[in-house]
Amino acid sequence: MTAHTARSSTTVNTVLGPVPADDLGVVAVHEALLSVVPGAEHAYDITMDRAEIFETLAKKLTDFRSHGGGTIVDSTGMFHGRDVRLYEALSRSTGVHIVASTGMGPEELLGGYFLTPQTNPPTPWPAEKFADLFTKEVTEGMVVPRVERRAAAGLVATAAATGGMTATEESLFRGAARTALATGVPVSVRYGADAVHDLDVVLDEKLPADRVVVGGLDRRDAVAAGAPLEVARRGAYVALDHVGLDDSDTYVTDRERAALVLDLVAAGHADRILLSGNATGVAKGQPAHDLPYSYVSSTFVPLAKSLGLGEEDARRVLVDNPRALLTLR
């Protein structure tokens, strides 16, 4: 076995380079570090004080670590405030592994370059071009726009509009799947109207289901439709990633979330469950979702255990499942 294959079969791409998958520890698999609504960086009344942003994020990461957290996945993609050099400094100074993502979506968050390019007619980008853009972020490194590339992206993230997947979003999903196939990183999708339909778009690209995590499956409509169980049956990871959101019309409560975890375990899918808080460490251009990254392990998992979640399954959900997902194939 060559050094290369030994490494690639057991590592995860972090902003500081590949790390052994066994080093990840407890993983928060769907979070945001710096979250910037595209364009907000140009707003006259928004300041971007990097030192202040760093301090806020460092405190949150340190809290996460002090509660047993090992790895944060920033699943916001390449065009929502991702700041690779800031994340490198944060990871070095707090000791928390940071996995950053490539990808984009939903369509409404894309720049005009992808939607109305300077061609006649202005045809939106097809899957192949998105695949090429995202793949290079893994094989050549994540971009600091117009300046340089840094470390490889650890996953490719995309999303569809809640009203239903648009044509360009189908291109994004297919492009993301092709990147996963070409590079070995996993795909993280936020579905639009129909979780199973949107997952099937990715699977149609012949990507194995266990390379996909479907996020947002703690949405009330998805739970009512039985989507979490159906996604798990197909072999994809089920992310209940709004843990801590307890007063929403759109998402179920933590108690219902815990019940859902137990249902999935009872149905034999303990190896497909992921939990995360969808917190935003620092948000610009929209209100922050100011939830500690440690909330899942410090508050939610004890609740789930009190309702019957076993110790071994809890560890599986927090450590083993995200490790299997994030490990490069």
Partner 1 sequence: MSRVNTVLGPIPAEELGVVAVHEHIGYGMPGSELDTKWWKTPEQRYEETVPKLRKFREYGGGTFVDVTGICNGRDIDYYKSLSAKTGVHIVACTGFVGGDTALPFFERAGVDYLTRQFVHEITVGIGDTGSKAGVIKVGVSRGGRMTELDKRIYRAAARAAVTTGVPILTHLAIDPEPAVAVFEEEGLPLDRVLFGHADDGVNADSTPAAWLAGLGGRIGFDTFGYETELEDPPFWARPRQERLDHFLDFVGKGFLDKALVSADANCSPLGWPGVKGHTVNYLFEDLIPDLRGAGLDEPTIRKLLEDNPADFLTIRD
Contact residues for partner 1, defined by CB under 8 A: 37-40, 42-45, 78-79, 108-122, 133, 136, 140, 143, 145-146, 149, 285
Task: Tell me how far, at minimum, the Cβ of 104 lies from partner 1, in Å.
Answer: 8
Of the two residues 36 and 229, which places its CB atom closer to partner 1 in the complex? Answer: 36
Facing residues of 74 across strands?
31, 100
Task: Tell me how far, at minimum, the Cβ of 192 lies from partner 1, in Å.
Answer: 17
Task: Tell me how far, at minimum, the Cβ of 112 lies from partner 1, in Å.
Answer: 5
Task: Tell me how far, at minimum, the Cβ of 130 lies from partner 1, in Å.
Answer: 11
Q: What distance in Å separates the CA atoms of residue 181 and residue 174, rounded to the nearest whole number?
A: 11
Of the two residues 4 and 121, which places its CB atom closer to partner 1 in the complex? Answer: 121
Task: Tell me how far, at minimum, the Cβ of 276 lies from partner 1, in Å.
Answer: 23
Task: Tell me how far, at minimum, the Cβ of 41 lies from partner 1, in Å.
Answer: 8
Q: Can you state the angle between helices 127-139 and 167-183, rounded to 10 degrees?
A: 40
Task: Tell me how far, at minimum, the Cβ of 183 lies from partner 1, in Å.
Answer: 17
Of the two residues 130 and 191, which places its CB atom closer to partner 1 in the complex? Answer: 130
Facing residues of 14 across strands?
17
Q: Are the C-beta atoms of residues 31 and 100 closer than 8 Å to each other?
A: no
Of the two residues 70 and 106, which places its CB atom closer to partner 1 in the complex? Answer: 106
Of the two residues 22 and 108, which places its CB atom closer to partner 1 in the complex? Answer: 108
Q: Which residues are within 8 A (CB) of 146 and not within 5 positions of it... i.e. 6 or more apart?
A: none
Give the full edge-to-edge strand order of the sheet including 212-215: 273-275, 237-240, 212-215, 187-190, 155-159, 97-102, 69-74, 26-36, 280-284
DSSP element (H, E) containing 311:
helix 311-315
Positive or negative, the CA dihedral 327, 31, 266, 223 is negative
Of the two residues 65 and 150, which places its CB atom closer to partner 1 in the complex? Answer: 150
Of the two residues 85 and 149, which places its CB atom closer to partner 1 in the complex? Answer: 149
Please, is 194 exposed, middle or buried when counting C-beta atoms within 10 Å of its C-beta (0-12, 13-18, 19+)?
middle
Task: Tell me how far, at minimum, the Cβ of 80 lies from partner 1, in Å.
Answer: 10
Q: Can you state the angle between helices 167-183 and 195-203, rounded to 10 degrees?
A: 50
Q: What distance in Å separates the CA atoms of residue 34 and residue 31, rounded to the nearest whole number?
A: 10
Q: What distance in Å separates the CA atoms of residue 62 and residue 93, rounded to the nearest whole number?
A: 9
Of the two residues 70 and 77, which places its CB atom closer to partner 1 in the complex? Answer: 77
